């Protein structure tokens, strides 16, 4: 299976799916999907409730962080995993969620080579209908990231304090200075915006 992105074609490998026949009787078609390509994998149960609502459950995804280049022009590496007990979407926007995202062995592919950053996690929960909040923590590594994220309908905000256990790499400082404000402890990264429609 292939998906077109701004960065080119994204290959999703072989996709298998099965339909729960009884779900058709209650007007909530439910599919179990599984996709594997190389050492990357995606599995989920998808239920459609009318034209506007989709529920994803038992979501398990593993992929290389380099795939993020299909979404943003950032040279990153490492292993990303996503686990979601439940993710309810209405009109394409998250309404409810219980999920954990991890980025293991994160690294930045700098002009001078691969620069190890660490391992990170974000635990995400809905705090009200249409409002998701997450806590970002550092699991290991020299670059510490602690903060919060929030998604309210289409509007998002991210606030992360970045500190370093060792001396800062000058190239990393230069890159962070484009996105974050220097503070006494390190860098204060704040992003606000809206998701595209």
Q: What pLDDT, in 10s, does the model give residues 13-30?
A: 788 999 999 899 888 999
Percent over 70 (pLDDT), the chain:
92
Nearest-CA neighbor of 173 among 163, 155, 157?
A: 163
pLDDT in tens, 145-170: 999 999 998 999 999 999 998 889 89
Q: What is the mean pLDDT of the chain?
A: 90
CB < 8 Å & 24+ apart, contacts of 55-59: 55/86, 55/87, 55/88, 55/89, 56/84, 56/86, 56/87, 56/88, 56/89, 57/84, 57/85, 57/86, 57/87, 58/85, 59/83, 59/84, 59/87, 59/99
Task: Name the DSSP class of 70.
Answer: G
pLDDT in tens, 33-90: 999 988 889 999 999 999 999 999 999 999 999 887 776 667 889 999 999 999 999 9
Helix (H) or strand (E) holding 6: none
Instruction: Assess whether pLDDT exceeds 90 at residue 2.
Output: no
Distance CA 72, CA 11 (A): 17
What residue spans define the domains of the chain?
2-194
């Amino acid at each position: 299976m292939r998906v077109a992105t701004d960065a080119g074609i994204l290959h999703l490998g072989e996709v298998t799916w099965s339909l729960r026949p009884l779900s058709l009787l209650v007007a909530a078609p439910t599919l179990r999907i599984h996709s594997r390509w190389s050492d990357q994998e995606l599995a989920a149960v998808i239920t459609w409730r009318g034209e506007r609502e989709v529920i994803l459950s038992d979501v398990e995804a593993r992929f290389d962080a380099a795939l993020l280049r299909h979404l943003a022009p950032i040279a990153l590496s490492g292993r990303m995993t996503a686990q979601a007990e439940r993710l309810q979407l209405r009109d394409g926007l998250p309404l409810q969620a219980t999920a954990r995202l991890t980025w293991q062995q994160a690294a930045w592919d700098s002009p001078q080579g691969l620069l190890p950053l660490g391992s990170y996690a974000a635990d995400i929960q809905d705090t009200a209908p249409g409002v998701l909040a997450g806590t970002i923590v550092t699991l290991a590594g020299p670059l510490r990231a602690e903060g919060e994220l929030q998604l309210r309908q289409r509007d998002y905000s991210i606030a992360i304090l970045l500190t370093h256990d060792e001396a800062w790499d000058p190239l990393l400082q230069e890159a962070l200075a484009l996105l974050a404000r220097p503070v006494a402890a390190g860098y204060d990264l704040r992003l606000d915006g809206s998701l595209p429609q």
